Structure 1
Amino acid sequence: MVNNNGTLIASNKAISSINNRGLNYGDAVFETLRVSGGKVLFWEDHYFRLMASMRILRMEIPMNFTQEYLEEQVFATINAQENDSKTFRAKILVWRKEGGLYTPATNDIEWAITCSALTQPFYTSNDGHYEVELFKDHYITSGLLSTLKTNNKIINVLGSIFAKENDYQNCLLINEKKQIVETLNGNLFLVKGKTIKTPPLADGCLKGILRKQLIAICEKLDDFTFVEASISPFELQKADELFTTNVITGIQSITKYRKKEFSNSVAKQLLGKLNLKARLG
């Protein structure tokens, strides 16, 4: 089932207009949620990121688009699924109503919620081979718009094709200043000695929800120093650990970059703290 503007529709009967502005101009923003144990993990952060993104994109926020209303709509969509799973991935997609060309006729919005079942109720460690490489064909532009979760993801798509064709599990994206920004599907963290580092938002990385949660966790660690600072490609092979984060996977350790292989002890330590934070809400 798909929730279209508050109306539940069978997935095979959900139809979008060919003039949809998200389809035609990338004029859309979305929020990916992990729902487990009867709650949306880190829901308040997701809601306020969605509202901030809509404001930045000058979309008109409906009066009924409250935190409580959207949460109810997420669970209405999940409850309509013919699935006994207790854990779901849900996606809220918001686009501007059709009309006009590059200049929209209105800032009013439409929206939809979709969901699919997940198998694990909380984040787990994946110790399998996970090799990455730099994707250098195109650059992420540093700045505010790159930090938003919009549907302008062509660089990520091309990077994923490059990874598949070359037997990599992921790629590292760089900005126009040749700084490491993020991976194809999440934020990047680097561990060197007793320092944990992640690129700042000014470099163009996504303003990730798991990024925010891990920063809060890392800042409280007694044995490590946390910094937000640009990461040069030359730092990668000197690192002890690299891992990527997103709200669905949690923490994914990177095992290899070129000739360098990495450990994952810090990532496992953070994973336990992340699951505890998710359970306590």
Structure 2
Amino acid sequence: MFNYNGKLFSDETQVLSHTNRGLKYGDALFETLRCVHGTLFFWEEHYFRLMASMRILRMEIPMEFTLEFLEAEIKKTIDGNQQDNAPVRVRLTIFRNGEGLYGPETNDISYLIETKTLDSPFYLVNEGEYEVELFKDYYVNKDMLSNLKTTNKLLHVVASVYAKENGYANCLLVNTDKLVVEGINGNLFLVQGNVVKTPPLADGCLDGIIRKKIIEIVSAAEDMELVEESISPFELQKSDEMFLTNSIVGIQPISKYRKKEFGKNISKSLVGKLNARARMSQTN
């Protein structure tokens, strides 16, 4: 079942019309997050990112759209799918209502909540092979819209097709300055010695929730240094480790880029600390 504007519908129900602006113009935002035993991981961060993004896109935020209201709607969807005791992937999509061309007739919104069970309640390090390559056919723009989690993801879709056609697990995206920005589905971190480096938001990467958590964890560690600086493609093969982050996987180590193979020691250390922060969100 899914939740459309507060009502639960079976998966076979068609609720979106041909006028839907998310379909016609990509006029939509979304959040994906984990829920374990009724606790939404890092829910406050997801909620405030969503509210800020809606304001940037001039969407009208309904009065009832409190943190508590949306949390209750998510949990209602989970209950409707009988997933109360399972780890769950949640996707919350917000799209602008009404007709119109590029100019919308209204800034009112609708919401859609979908849930799917996950294999593990906490983040795990993938010990398998995970090879990546640069995708250079199209570029990420260096602007605030690239920082938002919108449904305008054609670049990422085409990069995913390229990765599948060429046998890669993922691709690294570059911006208009030919700097490495992120992966298809997550933020990028490099490890060189005790330095953990990630691109700044000004380069066009997603303002990721787990990105923020890793920055907090590394910044607080006495034996590591966090650096937010642009990453050149030439730096990739000089790194000791590389990994991607997102709210569902947590930390995904990269095992190989071209001829260079990478370790996973820092990734394994950080995933334990990330799980500790997720557990803290359960008790708060």
TM-score, normalising length: structure 1: 0.99
**Structure 1 Cα separation of the partners of residues 195 and 59 of structure 2:** 40
- Equivalent position of 2:133 in the other structure: 133
- Determine the structure 2 residue equivalent to 1:54: 54
Instruction: Give 2:200's aligned residue.
Output: 200
Deviations 1:13-33 (A, max 9, x none): 132111100000010000111
Supply the distance in 2 between the matched residues of 1:5 and 1:37 (Cα, whole angstroms). 24
Q: What percent of counterpart residues are identical? A: 56
Task: Tell me what 1:147 maps to.
Answer: 147
Instruction: Kindly provide the amino acid, as one letter, of the partner of residue 109 in structure 1.
Output: I
Residues 91-139 of structure 1, C-alpha deviation per residue, up to 9 Å, x if partnerless? 1101111221110001111111011111100001111000000000000
Contact 2:38/2:84, CA 8 A, preserved across alignment: no
| 2: CA distance, partners of 1:68 / 1:197 | 35
Cα distance change, pair 85–161 in 1 and its aligned pair in 2 (3 A): farther
Cross-structure match for 1:241: 241
Q: 1:85, CA displacement in angstroms?
A: 4.6
1:82, distance to aligned residue in structure 2 (A): 3.9
Distance 1:84 1:76 in 2: 10
Cα deviation for residue 209 of structure 1 reads 0.4
Unaligned runs of 5+ residues in structure 1 are none
Q: Distance in 1 between matches of 2:270 and 2:199?
A: 18
Superposition pairs of residues 79-228 of structure 1, within 5 angstroms:
79-83=79-83, 85-228=85-228
CA distances 1:30-62 after superposition (whole Å, capped 9, x unpaired) = 011110132000000000000001000000000
Deviation at 1:193, TM superposition (A): 1.0
- TM-fit CA distance, 1:259: 0.5
Q: Is this contact kept in 1: 2:78–2:84, CA < 8 A?
A: no
Q: Distance in 2 between matches of 1:82 and 1:47?
A: 24
Q: Is the 8 A contact 1:85 1:118 kept in 2?
A: no
* Distance in structure 1 (CA, Å) of the matches to 2:85 and 2:164: 30
Kindly indicate whether the alpha-carbon contact (under 8 Å) linking 2:54 and 2:60 is maintained by their aligned counterparts in 1: yes
Per the alignment, residue 272 of structure 1 pairs with 272
> Is the partner of 1:115 in helix, strand or coil?
strand
Normalising by structure 2, we get a TM-score of: 0.98
Larger mean CA deviation between 14-23 and 204-213 belongs to: 14-23
Partner of 1:3: 3
8 Å Cα contact 1:241-1:254 kept in structure 2: yes
Q: Which amino acid aligns with 2:34?
A: R
Mapped to 2, the partners of 1:38 and 1:120 lie a distance apart of 15
Q: Tell me the distance in 2 between the aligned counterparts of 1:58 and 1:175.
A: 26
Q: Are the aligned partners of 1:241 and 1:263 in contact in 2 as well (CA < 8 Å)?
A: yes
Map of 2:35 onto structure 1: 35
Take 1:34 and 1:133, find their aligned partners in 2: how far apart are those partners?
Answer: 28
Amino acid at match of 1:24: K
**Aligned partners of 2:37 and 2:84 also within 8 Å:** no
Does the 8 A contact of 2:36 with 2:85 survive in 1? no
Please identify, of 171-180 and 76-85, the stretch whose mean Cα deviation from structure 2 is larger.
76-85
Q: C-alpha separation between the residues in 2 aligned to 1:204 and 1:27?
A: 19
Q: Is this contact kept in 2: 1:38–1:86, CA < 8 A?
A: no
Which secondary structure does the structure 2 equivalent of 1:11 belong to? coil
Residue 143 of structure 1: CA displacement? 1.0
Q: How far apart are the structure 1 equivalents of 2:131 and 2:255?
A: 6
The amino acid that maps onto 2:97 is K
